[in-house]
């Protein structure tokens, strides 16, 4: 039942993976998400007209803060010394903001969860800042798109 899952011991109990014997390597992970909204809401964000201020600027800071606190949110994650968290936004269509997060560290375990957490919280922050004008927004397509470093090597998906 737990074969192949690293966060369970032989008896099926949850464990934090022991990474002490693993070498420190440079590790990078990129995650994406998007927030779909009414075109008028996107126009408001683009023009800086949101009542709460710079939506994307606040979402960027929230995402970075979330990446740094991932181990506090995801029970079996190791706390990692992040060396970089980069968050970029793009206007993916007339009704969507695309979010891309790249997290980096030099450590014994990967930064996939930090990148995914940052993308999630950045999307949630966009929702929070715009919900007064558009409660129908949707957070979609949260996923890991790339990772490198460590024993498992490279991973990419579009």
Contact 115, 74 (CB under 8 A): no
Across-strand partners of 91?
97
Let me know the angle formed at the C-alpha of 53 by 57 and 127, rounded to the nearest 5 degrees: 70
Annotation says 72 is catalytic = no
| Active-site choice (72, 128, 134, 158) | 128
Question: Rounded CA gap, 96 and 133, in Å?
Answer: 15
**Residue 110, CB-side half-sphere exposure with 13 Å CA sphere:** 20
Give the residue numbers annotated as catalytic, written as ranges.
128
């Amino acid at each position: 039942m737990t074969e192949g899952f690293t966060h369970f011991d032989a008896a099926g109990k949850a464990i934090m993976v022991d990474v002490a014997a693993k070498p420190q390597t440079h590790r990078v992970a990129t995650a994406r998400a998007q927030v779909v909204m009414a075109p008028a809401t996107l126009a408001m964000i683009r023009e800086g007209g949101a009542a709460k201020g710079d939506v994307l600027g606040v979402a960027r800071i929230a995402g970075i803060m979330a990446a740094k606190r991932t181990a506090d949110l995801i029970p079996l994650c190791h706390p990692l010394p992040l060396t970089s968290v980069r968050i970029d936004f793009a206007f993916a269509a007339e009704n969507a903001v695309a979010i891309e997060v790249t997290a980096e560290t030099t450590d014994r375990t990967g930064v996939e969860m930090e990148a995914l957490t940052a993308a999630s919280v950045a999307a949630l922050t966009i929702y929070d800042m715009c919900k007064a004008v558009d409660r129908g927004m949707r957070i979609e397509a949260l996923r890991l798109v790339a990772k490198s470093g460590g024993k498992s090597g490279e991973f990419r998906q579009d």
